[in-house]
Every structure is written in C-alpha cells, then in structure tokens.
Amino acid sequence: MEMFSSFWPWYVTGPLIGLYVPILYLLLNRHFGVSSTFRDICAACLRIDKPYFRYNWKDHRWRLLFVAGIAIGGFLTHPTLNTPAQGQVSGHTLSVLSSLGIKDFSSLVPGDLFSWPSVLSLKGLLLTVGGGFLVGFGTRYAEGCTSGHSIHGIATFQRASVVATVCFFLGGVFSTYVILPIILHL
C-alpha cells in the first residue's frame, strides 16, 4: 500500500495505463475508452427520443462500473497525495499561471478556481460548466477521448485516432494561450 502514498514517475504510470488496452480486450473483448459513459448515463437516466440514445445501454454496463471504480479510486488515493504543486510541476508553468492571477498552488488543482464556494465565481463556472460541456460535447462528436483515441486508437494504428489526438492538442494549446487568459482576467 506504501506505493500509493507517493507520486509515480511517467515510466511507471504510462505502461500501467497502456496495459488497460489488452486487459479489457482479453477480459471482455471491449475497447478501452471512458467518454462513451457520458452517453450511457444519458441513455440510462433519461428517456430521450433521439437515435443517438436509442441503444441498449445495459450492454455497456461494465463501462459504468469501470468509471464508478475510477471515482472510488480517486476518493481513496487523493487525500494522501494532496501536496503543493511546487517541486512537481515546472516552475515556468507555475510562474506564468501566477502572473495570470492564480494564487492557490497548495494542491493538485487551483483551489481558488475549483473548490467550494469559489467555484461559484464567474471564472470558476466558466472553467467547470463551460470546460466540462466542451469535454462532453467534443468527445462525443469526435467519438473518443484521450483513452479511446490517443491511447487505444493509436496503439491499434488507427488513422482517425492520430488525427483526433492532433486536434485535441491544437484545441488545448489554443485554449491555454487564448481562452484561459481571457477567463482568468475577467
């Protein structure tokens, strides 16, 4: 259990994540991917008369169980790892973020934007409600996210996944340099 009380280098984390591609195929013959559960949750909880939601979500119950596990895993490990960003994250990134007005570097996410009640500020809501919406809409339109496209898709040599991943980064860089500074200066 000791290994869960410290941060891991990339060469431990990356290979462990990569193993989920073969494990899920070998166990269930299903592909590794997280964002499809957003659709499953809509289909399971709401009765919507649209073709996109007309499928048997119960065939994909394993995915809902998997993401419930992710939430539990986050709950179990996060408190022991809630340490300051300094020392881990690049000093250059932190000084740029500091100049953009972020003050709280005491945990893995800036508390002055994401914790209660500061999340109810205009900045907080734009980042969470706005950012979250783009994540849900975008991943469903692109039919995959970092797990389904960037890891599973590229690992199985799929052209669409390479294109999708390039676009994820183009969108992310644009947002980092253009949209985020605007929001943080509001």
Partner 1 sequence: MISIVVLLLGILFGAILTNGEIISWFRIQEMFRFDAFHMYGVIGSAIFVGALSMQVIKWLHVRSMTGEQVVIERKEMGKGTVIGGLIFGAGWALTGACPGPLYALAGSGYAGFVIALLSAIGGALVYGLVSERLPR
Q: Which of 87, 92, 185, 186 binds partner 1 (CB under 8 A)?
A: 92
Toward partner 1, which CB reaches closer, 101 or 105? Answer: 105
Distance (Å, whole) CA 84 – CA 57: 40
Does 55 sit near partner 1 (CB under 8 A)?
Answer: no
Query: Min. distance of Cβ 129 from partner 1 in angstroms?
Result: 5
Q: Which residues 6+ apart lie within 8 Å of 102 measured at CB?
A: 110, 112, 113, 184
Distance (Å, whole) CA 171 – CA 48: 30
Query: Helices 36-45 & 131-142, crossing angle to 10 degrees?
Result: 100
Q: How many residues bind partner 1 (CB under 8 A)?
A: 134
Query: Min. distance of Cβ 36 from partner 1 in angstroms?
Result: 9
Does 60 sit near partner 1 (CB under 8 A)?
Answer: no
Q: Which of 2, 47, 75, 185 binds partner 1 (CB under 8 A)?
A: 75
Does 116 sit near partner 1 (CB under 8 A)?
Answer: yes
Touching partner 1, residues 15-34 (CB under 8 A): 15-34
143 dihedral zone (left: phi>0; alpha: psi -120 to 50; beta): left
Q: Residues 135-158, buried b or exposed e (16+ Cβ, 10 A)?
A: eeeebbebbbbbbbbbbbbeeeee
Q: Which residues 6+ apart lie within 8 Å of 31 measured at CB?
A: 21, 24, 25, 148, 152
98 contacts 86 by C-beta, under 8 angstroms: no
Does 176 sit near partner 1 (CB under 8 A)?
Answer: yes
Residue corresponding to tokens 């690049």: 90
Does 98 sit near partner 1 (CB under 8 A)?
Answer: no
Does 171 sit near partner 1 (CB under 8 A)?
Answer: yes
Does 44 sit near partner 1 (CB under 8 A)?
Answer: no
Q: Which of 58, 98, 103, 156 binds partner 1 (CB under 8 A)?
A: 156
Does 152 sit near partner 1 (CB under 8 A)?
Answer: yes
Toward partner 1, which CB reaches closer, 103 or 163? Answer: 163
Q: Which of 50, 56, 87, 122 binds partner 1 (CB under 8 A)?
A: 50
